[in-house]
């Protein structure tokens, strides 16, 4: 196992452990985030097992795309307080699952292909979620320092990671077609991936259902 991947797993494990240890102290959306971090760690470990057994980690990523979308949607459902937007978030789950299943069976093979179509769609939706939540935060400020706002750190991690992933997947065919070296971009994405789950861990560490930060959103 490569050192880069071991570091990635360590960050995931740390975030997962923080979430599980503090689970009872977390607000509802961050309990789902703790579950998501734990699931992500287990799934990434499973990819190594799949590579050794069936020589492909792609099945795990097809499942991850769906599970992540469901969990992130539930998290934003609890964070966003507008009733209409909450209904829209829930209504997006079923069409996304249907799209992903159709994509797996008829376009990007469960065993051989990365589900880039599903990931592209999900990242676009995540950006939509993050902008809705930032708008809500601006309209309803809380009297808590920014560095102590778990919602802010979670949301900024989602926005940056989703935007970079969307750009990368959207441009990868162009880069390959024109033989453009992507080593620098790959390094940036790796660092952002570490930061993504690292910020999740920080958000899980500072979130507390008793501090009133998320009371309007639960």
Find out whether 63 and 103 touch, Cβ atoms under 8 Å. no
| Range with lowest mean pLDDT among 65-79, 142-156, 201-215 | 201-215
Q: Is the pLDDT of residue 218 over 80?
A: no
Closest to 79 (Cα-Cα) out of 116, 11, 148, 28: 28
Residue ranges in the chain assigned as alpha helix (H): 3-21, 28-53, 58-79, 83-106, 116-139, 150-177, 183-206
Q: pTM for the full model?
A: 0.92
The pLDDT assigned to 181 comes to: 85
DSSP assignment of 121-146, as one string? HHHHHHHHHHHHHHHHHHHS--SS-G
Q: Is the pLDDT of residue 11 over 90?
A: yes
Per-domain boundaries in the chain: 3-217
DSSP assignment of 137-178, as one string? HHHS--SS-GGG-HHHHHHHHHHHHHHHHHHHHHHHHHHHHT
């Amino acid at each position: 196992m490569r050192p880069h991947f071991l570091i990635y797993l360590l960050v995931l494990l740390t975030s997962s452990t923080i979430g599980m240890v503090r689970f009872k102290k977390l607000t509802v959306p961050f309990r789902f985030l703790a579950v998501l971090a734990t699931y992500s760690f287990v799934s990434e470990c499973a990819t190594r097992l799949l590579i050794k057994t069936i020589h492909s980690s792609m099945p795990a990523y097809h499942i991850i795309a769906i599970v992540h979308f469901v969990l992130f949607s539930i998290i934003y459902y609890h964070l966003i307080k507008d009733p209409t937007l909450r209904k829209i978030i829930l209504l997006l789950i079923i069409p996304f699952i249907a799209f992903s299943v159709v994509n797996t069976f008829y376009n990007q093979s469960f065993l051989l292909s990365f589900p880039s179509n599903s990931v592209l769609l999900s990242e676009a939706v995540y950006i939509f979620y993050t902008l809705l939540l930032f708008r809500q935060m601006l309209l309803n400020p809380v009297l808590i320092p920014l560095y102590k706002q778990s919602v802010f750190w979670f949301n900024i991690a989602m926005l940056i990671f989703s935007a970079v992933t969307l750009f990368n997947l959207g441009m990868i065919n162009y880069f390959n077609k024109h033989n453009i070296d992507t080593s620098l971009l790959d390094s940036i994405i790796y660092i952002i991936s570490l930061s993504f789950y690292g910020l999740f861990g920080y958000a899980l560490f500072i979130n507390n259902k008793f501090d009133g930060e998320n009371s309007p959103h639960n």
